[in-house]
Chain A
Amino acid sequence: MDYAVTVDQLSKTFGTFTAVDHISLTVDYGEIFGFLGANGAGKTTAIRMLCGLLRPTSGTGTVNGFDVNRQYEKIKPSIGYMSQKFSLYGDLTGRENLRFYGAVYGLSNSRLKDRIAELTAMLELTEFIDRLTGPLPVGWRQRIALAAAIIHRPRIIFLDEPTGGVDPVFRRRFWEILYSLADEGVTLFVTTHYMDEAEFCRRISIMHQGKIVVMGPPRQLVAAHGLPNLQETFIHLIAERPVDG
Chain B
Amino acid sequence: MSVVEVTGLSKRYQTLTAVDGLNLSVEAGEIVAVVGPDGAGKTSLFRALCGLIAFDTGSAVVAGMDVRTDMERIKPLLGYMPQNFSLYPDLSVEENLQFYGGLFGVPKDRYAALKERLYRFSGLAPFGGRRAGNLSGGMKQKLALSCALIHEPKVLVLDEPTTGVDPLSRRQFWDILLSLRRDGATIIVATPYMDEVALADRAVFMHLGRKLAEGTPEELRRRYRGRIFRLAVDPTAEQMTRLAGIEGAAPYRFGAEVHLYTPADMTADRVRERLAACGLTTPVEPIAAGLEDVFIQLMGAQ
Contacts and interface: CB of A to CB of B under 8 A. Distances in A.
A236 to B, nearest CB: 9
Most chain B CB within a 10 A radius of its CB, from A84, A169, A202: A169
B127 A231 contact: no
Contact of B36 (A39, A167, A176, A234): A167
Contacts of B124: 245
Contacts, number: 104
Nearest to B172: A239
A245 B137 CA distance: 9
A231 B195 CA distance: 9
A234 B135 CA distance: 21
B145 interface: no
B136 A167 contact: no
Interface residues of A, number: 41
Identify which of B163, B171, B252, B255 gathers the most chain A CB atoms within 10 Å of its CB.
Answer: B255
Interface in B127-183: 127, 130, 135-139, 160, 163-171
A173 B292 CA distance: 13
A134 interface: no
B168 A239 contact: yes
B281 to A, nearest CB: 21
A138 B164 CA distance: 14
Contact of A38 (B138, B192, B300): B138
Interface in A191-211: 193-196, 199-202
A165 B192 contact: yes
A245 B127 contact: yes
Interface string A64-93: 000000000000000000001000000000
Interface residues of B, number: 41
A245 B256 contact: no
Contact of B38 (A39, A165, A179, A234): A165
Contacts of B296: 168-169, 172
A128 interface: no
Contact of A235 (B137, B168, B256): B168
Interface string A212-245: 0000011100000000000100110011000101
B126 A245 contact: yes
Nearest to A196: B292
B286 to A, nearest CB: 18
B16 to A, nearest CB: 10
A218 B126 CA distance: 34
A245 B136 contact: yes
A56 interface: no
Given A137-B39, A175-B253, A194-B193, 13 more contacts: A39-B139, A40-B136, A161-B164, A164-B163, A168-B292, A168-B296, A169-B299, A170-B37, A172-B296, A200-B253, A218-B255, A245-B127, A245-B136
**The 6 nearest A-B residue pairs measured at CB:** A167-B37, A40-B136, A39-B137, A38-B166, A39-B136, A245-B127
